[in-house]
């Protein structure tokens, strides 16, 4: 009988923003899996490290720096094979996911490979979306606002159309797309309604207006929140 694959959201970075359910599943699972860069520690694992009992088998899912040499698909194929083997032996495998597993999370790549053959349960977590709004100290969306989440890699014209019609918006995965996003917001006259948030809820959290972020200095996991009702920023 197969074990269960758990996608466990551990929140945006503050170890106190982990749920009781996430902690229980992570402590009980026979096997833990977590994403990490090619070398060095896993941010996802570090969020919950103090709560792990020790003695669990751990599977590192390491993403190489040069995907041309070793494609992401191969990384997930290999991880899925290793996880599938553990599940087939009856072990539960808990994948530690930053934020929420189903909100733009890389858990979907394992889910897509494993859900047909094994039971899957997802433990929702505090997402970066609401964590950024809390860090900013301003409501994200209210009443009958339409809220749009717009990935930074989107082409400028599509991004502009989506931002033009939303009452509130979050541009995620900012990174190297910052100059384009800045241009789109400027053309829409929304620069003053936007705030840039980096590493929300972590010790290095930074919240600044758009003109204060140096070009090429935004990490991938940064976010720009936009609200049309300027009074929301007061």
Say how far residue 5 (Cα) sits from the centre of its chain: 19
Residue in 66, 144, 212, 216 binding a copy of itself, rule: CB under 8 A: 144
Give yes or no for a contact between 220 and 173, defined as CB atoms under 8 angstroms apart: yes
Q: How far is the CB of 214 from a copy of itself (least distance, A)?
A: 25
Could you tell me which stretch among 58-66, 132-140, 190-198, 214-222 binds a copy of itself (CB under 8 A)? 132-140
Residue with tokens 């301003």: 138
For the chain, how far is it from start to end, CA to CA, in angstroms?
56
Q: Residue 76: which of 110, 40, 36 has the closest Cα?
A: 110
Nearer to a copy of itself (CB atom), residue 36 or residue 138: 138
Given the rule CB under 8 A, which of 38-46, 86-94, 115-123, 215-223 is the region that contacts a copy of itself?
115-123
Identity of the residue, 57 or 153, whose beta carbon is nearer to a copy of itself in the bound complex? 153
Confirm or reject binding of residue 84 to a copy of itself (CB under 8 A).
no
Q: How open is the CA angle 172-178-180, to the nearest 5 degrees?
A: 105
**Looking up tokens 């003109």, which residue turns up?**
211
122 near a copy of itself (CB under 8 A): yes
Q: Which of 133, 174, 178, 181 binds a copy of itself (CB under 8 A)?
A: 133
- Tokens of residue 75, six digits: 């990384």
3-class secondary-structure state, position 201: coil
Query: Nearest-5° angle of CA 203, CA 124, CA 87?
Result: 110
Q: Which of 62, 12, 13 is nearest to 35 (CA)?
A: 62
Q: Does 156 bind a copy of itself (CB under 8 A)?
A: no
Sign of CA dihedral 204, 100, 219, 159: negative
Q: Considering only residues 5 through 34, tell me which ones interact with a copy of itself, judged by CB under 8 A.
A: 9, 11-12, 14-21, 23-24
Q: Shortest distance, CB of residue 190 to a copy of itself, whole angstroms? A: 17
Q: State yes or no: residue 82 binds a copy of itself (CB under 8 A).
A: no
Query: Per CB under 8 A, which region of 68-76, 161-169, 188-196, 205-213 contacts a copy of itself?
Result: 161-169
**C-alpha–C-alpha distance, residues 231 and 234, integer Å:** 5
Whichever of 31 and 105 has its CB closer to a copy of itself, that residue is 105
Contacts with a copy of itself: how many residues (CB under 8 A)?
58
- The verdict on 69 binding a copy of itself (CB under 8 A) reads no
The number of C-alpha atoms within 13 Å of 176 and in the hemisphere containing its C-beta is 0
Residues that bind a copy of itself (CB under 8 A): 9, 11-12, 14-21, 23-24, 100-105, 108, 111, 115, 120-127, 129-131, 133-134, 137-151, 153-154, 158, 161-162, 165-166, 201
């Amino acid at each position: 009988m197969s074990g269960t694959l758990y996608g466990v959201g551990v929140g945006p970075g503050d170890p106190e923003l982990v749920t009781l359910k996430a902690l229980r599943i992570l402590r009980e699972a026979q096997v833990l899996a977590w994403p990490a860069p090619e070398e060095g520690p896993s941010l996802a694992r570090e969020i919950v490290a103090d709560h792990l009992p020790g003695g669990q088998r751990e599977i590192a899912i390491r993403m190489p720096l040069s995907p041309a040499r070793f494609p992401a698909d191969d990384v997930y194929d290999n991880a899925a094979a290793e996880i599938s083997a553990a599940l087939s032996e009856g072990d539960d495998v808990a994948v530690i996911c930053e934020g929420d597993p189903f909100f733009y999370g890389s858990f979907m790549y394992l889910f897509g490979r494993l859900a047909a053959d094994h039971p899957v349960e997802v433990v929702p977590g505090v997402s970066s979306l609401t964590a950024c709004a809390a860090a900013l100290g301003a409501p994200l969306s209210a009443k009958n606002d339409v809220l749009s989440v717009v990935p930074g890699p989107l082409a400028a014209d599509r991004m502009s159309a989506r931002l033009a019609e939303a009452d509130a918006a979050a541009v995620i995965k900012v990174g190297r797309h910052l100059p384009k996003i800045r241009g789109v917001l400027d053309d829409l006259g929304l620069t003053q309604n936007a705030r840039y948030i980096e590493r929300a809820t972590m010790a290095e959290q930074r919240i600044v207006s758009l003109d204060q972020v140096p070009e090429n200095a935004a990490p991938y996991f940064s976010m720009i929140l936009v609200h049309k009702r300027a009074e929301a920023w007061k």
